[in-house]
Amino acid sequence: MRTPEGLKYTKEHEWVRMEEDLVYIGITDYAQDSLGDIVFIELPAEGDVLASGQTMGVVESVKAASDIYMPLSGKVKKVNNALLDNPESVNENPYDSWMIAIEPTDASELEALLNQDEYKKLCAKED
């Protein structure tokens, strides 16, 4: 399981990467591995405003469907529409396959997210 440095993580297995004024969000290597082969992804639309903890989309695999949750509040500025046609790219490289980029409404919410070590410990408990 890969957990790159410099990212933040959630207990629901999303990753977060801050780049300039945008926050990129995707699902972790642990999440994609647990789900198995991903066959469908549903994402919000650009311009949607979502709150922390709110469902931002759905990932369906050959095993199950799973909600994706907002790690922080913000306005959707970009949607990775390439994933809609090629959802399996999340299995190939989950950290390059970001799902949405948001403009956060409260950047201090980042502080509540897990760092790399905290996330590794969480995953070890779930195995």
User: How many independent structural domains does the chain possess?
Assistant: 1
CA angle 77/26/18 to nearest 5° reads: 60
Answer yes or no: are the C-beta atoms of 110 and 16 closer than 8 Å.
yes
What global pTM score does this model have? Answer: 0.95
Q: How far apart are CA 112 and CA 58, in angstroms?
A: 23
Q: What is the pLDDT of residues 39-98, one digit of tens each?
A: 999 999 999 999 999 999 999 999 889 999 999 999 999 999 999 999 999 999 999 999
Residue 52: give its domain's CATH number. Answer: 2.40.50.100
Residues 6+ apart with CB under 8 A from 84: 41, 43
In a domain, residue 111? The reply is no
49 located within any domain: yes
